[in-house]
Amino acid sequence: METLVQSLVSGILTGSLYAMIGVGLTIIFGVMRIINMAHGDMVMLGMYSSFWALTLWNIDPFVSIVFWVPVAFLIGMLTYRFLLKKIVPAGELNTLLYTAGLSLFVSNLALLVWTGDYRTIKLDYAVMPLRPFGIAVPIPLAIAFGMAILITALLYWFLVKTDTGRAIRATSQEPMAAALMGVNAAQMEMLTFGLGTALACGAGVLLAPSLYLYPTVGEILVAKCFVIVVLGGLGSVQGAIAGGLLLGVVESLGAVYVSVPYKDAIGFVIFLLVLLFRPSGLFGVGKS
């Protein structure tokens, strides 16, 4: 019983960060119809930003996130404007290949400047986990969880309550109608790519104290991201949140009840099953 609760809790904690990354990928897909293979590398860049802010300037990750997220937002918009804008009209497959190229470029640049060494972030206050009700909760993960919820909720509020957010959702659901109503599609795409990148990068900053950092960590993260987004239905924000939490829980339950080595495979198997039998996602809200 205790192991069950323990793995549920750690699954939900990790899942909240997965969800944050997944939401970033899914809004980009929703608005632009592109599968961004470089999304995982944005997370990786976030992790390294977090690491360097701590190492060089001694700024705690949970403080440095306050400026890394806006920086990532800007970088995302610039990436869209100067690298992606001309490619997106060339179709899904071309953008898939292009972003795969971008991903390889970014991760190898990181390898070049930061080498392939594994790094970790050590925080003084993170040595001992909290133990409420006898369940171990690592402190950095708990803080990251709180911040991930806060950021995701902010984004949700932005999408639902503000005019710009509504325009983004409109572009995602009815591109033609949105264009007719005078929504500037290119602007929405730039904004969305910025937001998606900021979410990925922010999640990276938050994850850094809990994971190993290495330049190709994005490869695994982006694969997980696809699982999440397909689970929730491509293009659906709620779906991605649910999918992220679900994957977190499935992985941590799988590690306990199936086997540690195969825990990553479970996600992919579910992914294939969903793609084949429920292409609009488990909750049937996405676009197939």
Partner 1 sequence: MKKTVLIIIGLIVLGIAPLVVRSPFFVHLMIMVLMWTVLGASWNILGGYAGQVSFGHATFLGAGAYTTMILYLSCGVDPWYGIFIGGIVAVLISLPIGFICFRLRGPYFSLSTLAVAEIVRLVALNWESLTAGPVGLLITTLPQVSFFGKAINWESKVPFYYIIAIITLIALIITYIVSRTRVGAYLLALREDIDSAESIGINTVKARVVALALSAFLAGIAGGFYAMYLRYVDPDAVFSIGLSVEMLFIAVVGGLATVGGPLIGAIVLVTLGESFREHFLSGHLIFYGFFMMLAIRYMPDGVWGRINTLFKKLRLKKDVNHGTA
Closest approach, Cβ 107 to partner 1, in A, equals: 8
Per CB under 8 A, the segment of 42-50, 54-62, 183-191, 213-221 that binds partner 1 is 213-221
* Termini Cα distance of the chain: 39
Q: Is 98 in the site for partner 1 (CB under 8 A)?
A: yes
Burial class (CB in 10 A: 0-12, 13-18, 19+), 287: middle
In the numeric block, the tokens 């171990």 are attached to 136
For helices 39-57 and 217-232, the axis angle rounded to 10 degrees is: 130
* Residue in this structure with the two tokens 């970790």, named with its chain if needed: 120
| 59, 78, 87, 135: which one binds partner 1 (CB under 8 A) | 87
**In the complex, minimum distance from the CB of residue 86 to partner 1, in angstroms, rounded to a whole number:** 7
> Is position 18 an interface residue for partner 1 (rule: CB under 8 A)?
no
Choose between 155 and 274: whose C-beta lies nearer to partner 1.
Answer: 274
Among residue numbers 255 through 284, which ones bind partner 1 (CB under 8 A)?
Answer: 259, 261-262, 264-265, 268-269, 271-272, 275-276, 279
User: Rounded to the nearest whole angstrom, what is the least distance from the CB of residue 253 to partner 1 in the complex?
Assistant: 17
Report how far residue 17's alpha carbon sits from residue 142's, in angstroms, rounded to the nearest whole number.
11
- Supply 121's token pair: 């972030």
Give the integer Cα–Cα distance in Å for 140 and 199: 18
Tokens of 138: 């690592």
- What is the rounded distance in angstroms from the CA atom of residue 147 to the CA atom of residue 145? 5
Q: Which is nearer to partner 1, 144 or 274 (CB)?
A: 274
Pick the binder of partner 1 from 94, 120, 162, 184 (CB under 8 A): 94
44 binds partner 1 (CB under 8 A): no
Nearest to partner 1 of 190, 222 (CB atom):
222
Work out the angle between the directed axes of helices 2-32 and 139-161 (0-180°, nearest 10): 40
> Judged by CB under 8 A, does residue 59 bind partner 1?
no
Residues with Cβ < 8 Å from 194, sequence gap 6 or more?
Answer: 73, 74, 76, 77, 80
* C-alpha to C-alpha distances, 161 to 115, 191, 241, 278, nearest whole angstrom: 44, 16, 18, 30
The CB-of-92 to partner 1 minimum distance in angstroms stands at 5
> Measured from the CB atom, is 86 or 154 closer to partner 1?
86
CB-CB contact of 24 with 201 (8 Å): no
Q: How far is the CB of 117 from partner 1 (least distance, A)?
A: 10
Q: Which residues bind partner 1 (CB under 8 A)?
A: 35, 83, 86-87, 90, 92-94, 96-98, 100-112, 115-116, 215-216, 219, 223, 226-227, 230, 259, 261-262, 264-265, 268-269, 271-272, 275-276, 279
